[in-house]
Amino acid sequence: MSAGHTVVVFGAYGHTGRFVVAELLERGFVPVLSGRDAGKLRALAAASRPGLDVRPAPVDDPAALDRALAGAAAVINCAGPFATTAAPVIEAALRAGIPYVDVAAEIEANADTFANFADRARAAGTVVVPAMAFYGGLGDLLVTAAMGDWTAADEVHIAYGLSGWHPTAGTRTAGRAAQSRRDGRRVRYRNGRLEYHQDDLPTLDWPFPDPMGTRAVVGEFTMADVVTVPSHLSVPEVRTYMTTEAAGDLGTPDTPAPTAVDERGRSAQTFLVDVVVRSGGSERRATAAGQDIYAVTAPLAVEAVQRILDGRIRKAGVASAGEIFDAPDFLDALAPHIICSTTK
Structural domains of the chain sorted by starting position, each given as residue range(s) with its CATH number in brackets? 6-133+297-328 (3.40.50.720), 135-292 (3.30.360.10)
Tell me what pLDDT residue 322 has.
Answer: 98
The mean pLDDT value for 41-59 works out to 95
- The pLDDT value recorded for residue 3 is 57
pLDDT digits (tens, 9 = 90+) for 55-74: 999 999 999 999 999 999 99
pLDDT at 157 over 50: yes
Question: Looking at the predicted structure, is the pLDDT value of residue 41 above 50?
Answer: yes
Residue 238 has a pLDDT of: 98
Would the pLDDT of 117 be above 90? Answer: yes
- Round the average pLDDT of the chain to a whole number and report it: 96
Burial class of residue 63 (count of CB atoms within 10 Å of its CB; 0-12, 13-18, 19+):
exposed
Which range among 81-90, 171-180, 285-294, 303-312 shows the weakest confidence by mean pLDDT?
A: 171-180
pLDDT at 1: 46
Residue 4 — pLDDT band, cuts 50, 70, 90? confident
Contact (Cβ atoms closer than 8 angstroms) between residue 168 and residue 257: yes
Per-residue pLDDT for 314 more than 90? yes
Distance CA 215, CA 219 (A): 12
- Taking residues 185-209, what's their average pLDDT? 95
The number of C-alpha atoms within 13 Å of 269 and in the hemisphere containing its C-beta is 25
Query: 149, exposed or middle or buried, with CB in 10 Å at 0-12, 13-18, 19+?
Result: exposed
pLDDT at 294 over 70: yes
Stretch 115-127: mean pLDDT: 97
- Decide if pLDDT at 2 tops 70: no
- Give one word for 129, left, alpha or beta, with left for phi > 0 and alpha for psi -120 to 50: beta
Residue 320 clears pLDDT 50, i.e. is over it: yes
Which pLDDT does position 111 carry in this prediction? Answer: 97
Q: Are strands 270-279 and 282-291 parallel, antiparallel or unpaired?
A: antiparallel
HSE, side-chain direction, 13 A CA sphere, residue 137: 32
The answer to whether the beta carbons of residues 103 and 129 sit under 8 Å apart is no
What is the model's pLDDT at position 344?
73
Backbone angles phi, psi at 3, to 5 degrees: -60, 125
Mean of pLDDT values over 132-153: 97
Amino acid 184: pLDDT: 86
* Tens digit of each residue's pLDDT (9 = 90 or more) over 72-106: 999 999 999 999 999 999 999 999 999 999 999 99
Predicted TM-score (pTM) of the model is: 0.97
On the question of pLDDT at 276 being above 60, the answer is: yes
